[in-house]
Amino acid sequence: MSRIGKQPVVLPAGVKVNLAGTTLKVEGPKGAKLEFTHHPAMKVTVDEKQILVERPNDDRHNRALHGLTRALVNNMVVGVTTGYSKRLKIEGVGYQAAMKGKAVELTVGFANRILHTPPEGITVAVPDPTTILVTGSDKQRVGQFAAEIRASKKPEPYKGKGIRYENEVVRRKEGKSFAASK
């Protein structure tokens, strides 16, 4: 049996869960609301203090869906209580970020500045010109928006210039050596 799927998702105080058919709605104490429609083969039950996910049989497909469904439900509960955040660092001479309304404006070595507007439910902050903080209650949306910002100028392997995640390690390459071969 799935080790992840069989664990119950514990509901902290202040979290409201509503299950209607295959649609699960979770609302947190901060006012964040998330919605998820699970696979019809999975059976989701909501108690007062926990959510259980069960599978009908041990088919390979159902085993995979069991752990996935439980993980997604757990991510929703964590998202509405504490939220998720991704921190991006900008490296390079003249490379920087600035807020322009709710959007983030990047100056990363191109002729024009790049403007990224966050989707609904995601907030962006720029504590200093070389740091971008993406926060929200939906783990997938936070990660996707952070990936879109990073894709604007990925870190290059020779000088390391570009946008990277805070703890990301970029493998550096050695440049061409012009030693005399004679």
How many residues does this entry show for the chain?
182
Please name which of 2, 13, 17 lies closest in space to residue 57, comparing C-alpha atoms.
2
How many angstroms separate the CA atoms of 58 and 5, rounded? 12
CATH of the domain at 116: 3.90.930.12
pLDDT along the chain (182 residues), means of 10: 82 92 91 92 92 92 93 95 95 94 94 94 95 96 96 92 93 79 54
Domain identity same for 35 and 93:
no
pLDDT for position 167: 92
pLDDT for position 180: 56
How many angstroms separate the CA atoms of 123 and 130, rounded? 17
pLDDT for position 182: 52
pLDDT for position 1: 47
Looking at 55, 81, 107, the residue that finishes a domain is 81
| Cβ–Cβ < 8 Å for 153, 106 | yes
How many angstroms separate the CA atoms of 110 and 161, rounded? 13
Owning domain of residue 71: 9-81
Q: What is the pTM of this model?
A: 0.89
| Cβ–Cβ < 8 Å for 115, 98 | no
pLDDT tens per residue, range 129-165? 999 999 999 999 999 999 999 999 999 999 989 999 9
CB atoms within 10 A of CB 150: 18
Domain identity same for 91 and 160:
yes
